[in-house]
Amino acid sequence: MKHYEVEILDAKTREKLCFLDKVEPHATIAEIKNLFTKTHLQWYPARQSLRLDPKGKSLKDEDVLQKLPVGTTATFYFRDLGAQISWVTVFLTEYAGPLFIYLLFYFRVPFIYGHKYDFTSSRHTVVHLACICHSFHYVKRLLETLFVHRFSHGTMPLRNIFKNCTYYWGFAAWMAYYINHPLYMPPTYAGIAIFVICQLGNSSIHMALQDLRPTGSKTRKIPYPTKNPFTWLFLLVSCPNYTYEVGSWIGFAIMTQCLPVALFSLVGFTQMTTWAKGKHCSYLKEFRDYPPLRMPIIPFLL
């Protein structure tokens, strides 16, 4: 059985960083990254990007050396992805912040609205319902992060967490300030049914997606509806979890009729549409028999 020689060059400077001799042909990129780390401890596997071309796409960890278009001396180009943080930590940080921040405004802790309102309670039922809905949403997200979600990528760049937390934490404080303000006058109870239905739908989709990917696996399958009626939206869209998520915030915006909530819903819809389109395209490329009727996020439209 022939062995490979592997050289790893810096993608920017073309400087040789590492030379590996007698690498097994069935070695994976993940195993090559581990060997590379032994000579460069500062670049642990999660922050390594190995590619066949300096400007090409990163190779997958599961790619096998002998199946790649390389000779017996394989050349890989390395890029440093920067310090990494696990997705579980990212989600827990992003979601715990809004939960805590919103409750600070709800309980009217000192120095927010003035001393005469310290630790007072709103007389409006909608304000209490809004707190319950907001808290339920983020508690659900925290529990799903711990017990439901399967992550195809284990980490993300550490620098991104500051941007993400600014978005989630900032909007939570903005909407909480107005909804819990002593002068807030809620106009309607409408919207709470939409919020509850969409939250149930979102959880149902996450459970269905969990069943598609066993723990520790990166296998991708086409998601199909189950016996749960909330999953029937898979008949029309590729990412019904995003559809339900947007629906939840629309319901919350209708219930509170608060401008920051409406803006949060709009920004979230824009971002989730981008994610849904990307996932929809990847489904179409990966699965030839992918259902043609589906749209990314909105049935028949988008």
pLDDT in tens, 36-55: 999 999 999 999 999 999 98
Per the structure, how many domains does the chain have? Answer: 2
Residues 256 and 268 in one domain: yes
CA-wise closest residue to 211 among 197, 222, 195: 222
Mean pLDDT for 272-300 is 94
Is it the case that residue 67 has pLDDT exceeding 70? Answer: yes
Burial of 230 (0-12, 13-18, 19+ CB in 10 A): buried
Residues near 78 by Cβ (< 8 Å), separated by ≥ 6?
8, 9, 10, 11, 17, 36, 43, 48, 49, 50
* Token representation of residue 60: 């997958």
Q: What is the pLDDT of residue 216?
A: 61
Domain end position, chosen among 66, 82, 98: 82
Residues 152 and 61 in one domain: no
Task: Judge contact between 243 and 268, C-beta under 8 A.
Answer: no
Domain end position, chosen among 35, 63, 82: 82
Residues 11 and 117 in one domain: no
Residues 159 and 100 in one domain: yes
The answer as to whether 232 is a domain residue is yes
The answer as to whether 297 is a domain residue is no
Task: Judge contact between 99 and 138, C-beta under 8 A.
Answer: yes
Q: What is the pLDDT of residue 245?
A: 97
Residues 171 and 274 in one domain: yes
Is it the case that residue 120 has pLDDT exceeding 70? Answer: yes
Where in the sequence is the domain holding 18, given as residue range(s)? Answer: 4-82
Residues 27 and 153 in one domain: no
The answer as to whether 291 is a domain residue is no
Ranges of beta strands (E only) in the chain are 4-10, 16-23, 48-51, 73-80, 84-86, 155-157
Quick: pLDDT tens for 239-249: 999 999 999 99
Quick: pLDDT tens for 154-200: 788 898 999 999 999 999 999 999 999 999 987 777 899 999 999 99
